[in-house]
Structure formats: C-alpha cells, structure tokens
Amino acid sequence: MYQVILLNDNFTPMEFVVVVIQHFFNKDRETATQIMLKVHQDGRGVCGVYTRDIAATKVEQVIGAARQAGHPLQCVMEAI
C-alpha cells in the first residue's frame, strides 16, 4: 500500500489545496481543511492510502490539476 502525500509550498493557495483534496480524495470540506492545515504546518500531509496503481494515478491527477491552474503544488506517493 502507498500513502499519497501533498507537500507544502509558499505559492499554492490554501483554498486550491482544499478543493484538490475534496475532489481527488473524496473528503468532506472539514477533513480537507484539516489535511490542508497539516500540509501548511508540517510541510506534508497524507491524503489517503491506496494500492500502487491507484496512488500513482492520484499523484498524476493532482499534479496535472495544479499545473493546469498554474500552481506548483507537489504530490508524491510513499510505500508504507
């Protein structure tokens, strides 16, 4: 299994991060906000745990959406 993790940067708006978490990780607004704050405060936040293929797809989707919106948001996956 793999964790999908968002990494903090000083440019991506917090609201965009919340929307990404809601959309790609199917979290409610409150949970998405909590994850966003963890990313902001700790430099990284876990959005979910998935099989390798699903995690890789989620990483690609998040990075694609961020680039399309002009944001440098980074998303990675790590084996657990």
* Whole-prediction pTM: 0.95
Per-residue model confidence as pLDDT tens for the chain (80 residues): 999 999 999 999 999 999 999 999 999 999 999 999 999 999 999 999 999 999 999 999 999 999 999 999 999 999 99
In DSSP terms, which residues pair with 50 in a beta bridge?
2
pLDDT confidence of residue 41: 97
Spatial neighbors of 73 by CB under 8 A, at least 6 apart, are: 6, 7, 9, 12, 16, 17, 20, 62, 63, 66
pLDDT confidence of residue 3: 98
